[in-house]
Amino acid sequence: IARENKMLVYAHFNLMVCCPAGTDMQKPTNHLENTFSRLGIHISRRAFNQLELFVNSFPGNAYQMNPDYDRFLTLSDAAMCMMYKERMKRSEDTPIKVYYTDRQGVPVAIDITGKEGRIKLTDNSNFFCLGPSGSGKSFHMNSVVRQLWEQETDIVMVDTGNSYEGLCEYVGGKYISYSTERPITMNPFRINPEELNVEKIGFLKNLVLLIWKGPNGDVSKEEDKIVNMVIEEYYEVYFHPENKRFSEEQREDMARSLRIDLRSMEDNPDEIRRKQERIRKFSQVKKRLENIQDRSVLTDSWSEDEMGFSRDDLLNYTPEELCEMEFSQLQDGTIEDTINKMESRRMKLSVEELSFNSFYEYAIQRIPDICKENNIHFALSSFRFMMKDFYKGGTFEKTLNEDFDGTLFDETFIVFEIDSIKDHKILFPLVTLIIMDVFQQKMRLKKKRKALIIEEAWKAIASPLMAEYILYLYKTARKFWASIGVVTQEIQDIVDSPIVKQTIINNSDVIMLLDQSKFKERYGDIKAILGLTDVEVKKIFTINRLDNKEGRSFFREVYIRRGANGDVFGVEEPRECYMTYTTERAEKEALKLYKAQMGCSIQQALEQYCRDWSRSGIDKSLAFAQRVNQEGRVLYLPASNKS
Ligand SMILES: Nc1ncnc2c1ncn2[C@@H]1O[C@H](COP(=O)(O)OP(=O)(O)O)[C@@H](O)[C@H]1O
Ligand SMILES: [Mg+2]
C-alpha cells in the first residue's frame, strides 16, 4: 500500500430501490439480492433509519455510518469503482475564450491561460507544447494564437519553419525574416536611465558573455564579475559623466587592496635587504645623535629631509620601529600615486553614445585597469577577438548597433523567422535573446495581454548561461499579464537539458501534448519530467485514437493540462482556417497561386479557394491543392446542383 501510494478508506455501498406506491418491493429487492450474490456480494437489507442511510451514502460521507451497518475498510480504488466519472465538457465561464471541440465534435470554449476564468486553475499562463514532427503543434498554435489575437492579445513569435506566415499575412501582422542582407538589428545597449536596473545589467552581461564564450561556455566568477563591473561603469560614465572621479569610498577600497598587494612584497629578498640596510643606517645616526648633543655638527652628515624623521623621532623610536614607520609612509605615497594615476586614466575615458561599439571601446580600455586595480587576470585577447565580429567593420557590425525599429512596438502581431541562422552558434542564440528582450520591453510598456511563443528556437537559449535570464523572464511574465510559450518536438531536448526542466517546465502551468505515440517506448522519462499520473498517461494515449471521426472534418487532438486539470480536446477548424495554418508546401502554393492570379486580398483568395474546394467534390485538402497546382490557375468552379 505504501509503495504504490494507495489509500485505505472506509466504504459503505448503499443501494436505493424505489417503486411506485402500491408496488411490491419484494420482487426487485429479491432480484438485486440474487444478482449481487452471483458476483459474490452479499447485500443486507435494512429499512429503518432511512434518512441516516441516505445522507451517509453521499460520496465521502461513509465515515458517519454506524459501524454496525456494514462499514468496511478497503482501498480507495475499490471504493470508487462505482463512481460515475464521465461528464460532458462544458464551455468555461471566462473572459478569454479559446474554442476547441469535445471528443464528440461539440464546440467548447476554455480559458487557455487557466487563470482568467471564474475557476482559477493556474498561477501563471506560460505554456509548454510537446509533440513529434507533423503531429500538429504549429497548426494548434496557429489556432490558439489567432483566437488570442482576436481577443486583444499582442503576439510575438519566434519561428524557424515558416509556420506562421499564413496567419501573419491574414491578420496583417509584421513578418520579419532574418537574412544577411537584412539582418535583425537591435541596439540593446541603448536604454534610458530609468531602465537601468539589476536585470538589465544581468541581461547585457549574459549577452556579452554569450558572444565571448558561446552558449555553453564556461564563465569564471571573476570574468562574470568584471563584465558586470564594466557594464555598470559604462553606464555610469555615460549617464553621470561628471562623476568620473573616484568616490572616497572607492578610494578607500582601492587603497585597502593595494596595501594588501604591497604587504606581500615584504617577503621579497630585495626588500628584506633594503630594510636591513635602513635599520643599520638608523642605528648609526641614532648612536651619533645620542653622543653628540650639538645640532650644528650634524648638518653635513645628516639632514631631516634625507632621513624623513625629526631628531626627536630618531631619539624616541628604535631603528626597527623607524623602519616600519618609514615603510608605511612609503606605501601610502605609492598608493595615493597609483590611485591618482588610475583616476586620470579613467577620466580620459568617455562614452559619447550608447551602442555595442562604444561599449566595446570602453571595455577594451577599461578592463586592463580594472584588472590592475583589483590585481586579477583577465583573458582580454580572447574577449577582444570574439567581440570584434560585432564591432565596427566586423561581420555582424550592424546586429547590435542599429536601433530596433521602434514602430514595431505598436504592431500587435509580429513573427520573427530566423531559420536562416539556425545553425549559427552565436547568432542564433543572440538574436533569440534580443527578441526576448524586445518582448520584455513590450511586456512592461503595453497594458494588454501579451504572448511570446518560441518554436524550436528555444533550444538556442536553453543553455546554462541563459538560465538566469529565462527564469527572470518567466517570473516577470506573470506580473505583466504575459504568457511565454515554448514549442518543441524533441523529447531528448527536455530530458537532457536541466535548464528546460527546471526553468521552463517548472514555470509553465499549462502543458499541451500532441499525439505522443512516437515517444511511447521511452515515455517514462516524459512522464516523470512532466509529473504525469498513470491515469493521465492513459488519457494521453487515447489522443487521435478514438472512433470519433465520423461526420467531422479532419482534426487532430491535443491534451491540455492547466494546473492539475487535464483533458483531451479536438483542434477542428474550418477550411478557411486550415488553409491559413497549413504547413504543407503544395497547399500553401495553391493558395498563393489564387492570390497572385486574382490580385486580391488574402481574405478574398481564401474565400474563392474554399468555394472551389467544396465545389470540386474533392474531400482531401492535399488532393485539391494538387489539382490547383496542376492546372496552374484559379478554377472558378460553377456551383453544381448537388452542392
Ligand atoms: N488540427 C488539425 N486539423 C487539420 N489538419 C491538421 C491539424 N493539425 C495538423 N494538421 C495537418 O498536419 C500538418 C502538419 O502539422 P504541423 O502543425 O505543421 O505539425 P508540427 O508543427 O507538429 O510539425 C498540417 O500542415 C496540417 O495539414
Ligand atoms: Mg511545426
For 8-37, how does the pLDDT look when each residue is reduced to its tens digit (9 = 90+)? 988 877 777 778 888 888 888 899 999 999
Atom of ligand 1 nearest to the CA of 571: 1
Q: Is 626 exposed, middle or buried (0-12, 13-18, 19+ CB in 10 A)?
A: middle
One domain for residues 113 and 156: yes
* Cα 483 from Cα 462, distance rounded (Å): 18
Q: Are residues 324 and 354 in the same domain?
A: no
User: Residues 6 or more apart from 204 whose CB is under 8 A from it?
Assistant: 188, 189, 231
Final residue in a domain of this structure, among 572, 598, 619 = 572
How many A from CA of 170 to the centre of ligand 1? Answer: 18
* 220 occurs within a structural domain: yes
Regarding whether 103 and 165 lie in a shared domain, the answer is yes
206 lines ligand 1 (CB under 6 A): no
Examine the domain organization and report whether 418 and 506 are in the same domain.
yes
Which residues make beta-bridge pairs with 156?
414, 452
- Asked whether the beta carbons of 235 and 311 are under 8 A apart, the reply is no
User: Which ligand sits closest to the CA of 136?
Assistant: 1
Question: Are 332 and 380 part of one and the same domain?
Answer: no
**CB neighbour list of residue 277: distance below 8 Å, 6 or more residues apart:** none
Rounded distance from Cα 582 to ligand 1 centre (Å): 6
pLDDT for residue 643: 46
What residues in the chain have per-residue pLDDT under 70? 46-48, 82-87, 292-307, 641-643
Q: Are residues 560 and 442 in the same domain?
A: yes
Shared-domain flag, residues 461 and 563: yes
How deeply is 518 buried, as exposed, middle or buried, from its count of CB atoms within 10 A (0-12, 13-18, 19+)?
middle
Residue 577 falls inside a structural domain: no
Residues found in the chain:
643
Spatial CA neighbour of 143 closest among 453, 412, 351:
453
**Structural domain total, the chain:** 5
State the Cα–Cα distance between residues 282 and 285, nearest whole angstrom.
Answer: 5
What does DSSP assign to residue 640?
P
The answer to whether residue 440 is domain-embedded is yes
Q: Where are the alpha helices (DSSP H) in 242-379?
A: 248-263, 269-291, 304-307, 311-316, 319-348, 356-374
578 found inside a domain: no
Q: Domain range holding 511?
A: 98-186+404-572
CA of 562 relative to ligand 1 center, distance in Å: 23
Residue 487 alpha carbon, nearest atom of ligand 1: 21
Q: Are 451 and 507 within one domain? A: yes
Ligand 1: atom nearest CA of 570 is 1
Atom of ligand 1 nearest to the CA of 581: 25
Look at residue 137 and tell me if it is in a domain: yes
Q: Note whether 524 and 537 are same-domain residues.
A: yes
Q: Are residues 515 and 430 in the same domain?
A: yes
User: How far is the C-alpha of 66 from the C-alpha of 53, rounded, in Å?
Assistant: 9
Regarding whether 107 and 176 lie in a shared domain, the answer is yes
- For ligand 1, atom 15, the nearest C-alpha belongs to 136
Q: Establish how many alpha carbons lie within 13 A of residue 211's alpha carbon, considering only the half-sphere containing its beta carbon.
A: 24
* Structural domain contains residue 643: no
- Which of 333, 359, 390 marks a domain boundary? 390
Q: How many angstroms does the Cα of residue 132 sit away from the middle of ligand 1?
A: 11
In a domain? residue 368: yes
Residue identified by cell 570574439 is 386
- Tell whether 638 is covered by a domain: no
Q: Is 553 in the pocket of ligand 1 (CB under 6 A)?
A: no
Q: Do 410 and 496 lie in a common domain?
A: yes
**Rg (the chain; Cα; Å):** 38
Task: Say which CATH number the domain at 115 has.
Answer: 3.40.50.300
